[in-house]
Amino acid sequence: MTEAELIEVVEFLNELKTDATIPKNIKCQIDSALVSLNSEGEISMKISRTVQNLDSVCEDPNLDSFIRSQILSVVSLLESI
């Protein structure tokens, strides 16, 4: 993963986290994904944990389809690395 791609993913997740229309429990899971990305360790492990966190977010029935599609685009970006 290049540094630019990592910064792009982190910025996008931070934007989602500050969105007022997203429920608080979803924001907590997005925050958990950000912690996974910023943690120490091997990049493949960080990506795997982040994708796992974001997949669980997408399974929430209270999530708007627009937000779900944004999260899935982040997952797609992470999986392409």
pLDDT(76) > 60: yes
What pTM was computed for the model?
0.84
The single-letter DSSP state of residue 2 is -
The fold of 3-79 is: de novo design (two linked rop proteins) (1.20.1440)
More confident of the two residues 15 and 1 = 15
Instruction: Give backbone dihedrals phi and psi of 23, rounded to 5 degrees, phi first.
Output: -60, 155
For the stretch 27-74, pLDDT in tens is 999 999 999 888 888 888 888 999 999 999 899 888 889 999 999 999
Where in the chain are the domains? 3-79
> Is the CB of residue 47 less than 8 Å from the CB of residue 74?
no
Res. 5: pLDDT tops 90: no
> What is the reported pLDDT for 14?
93
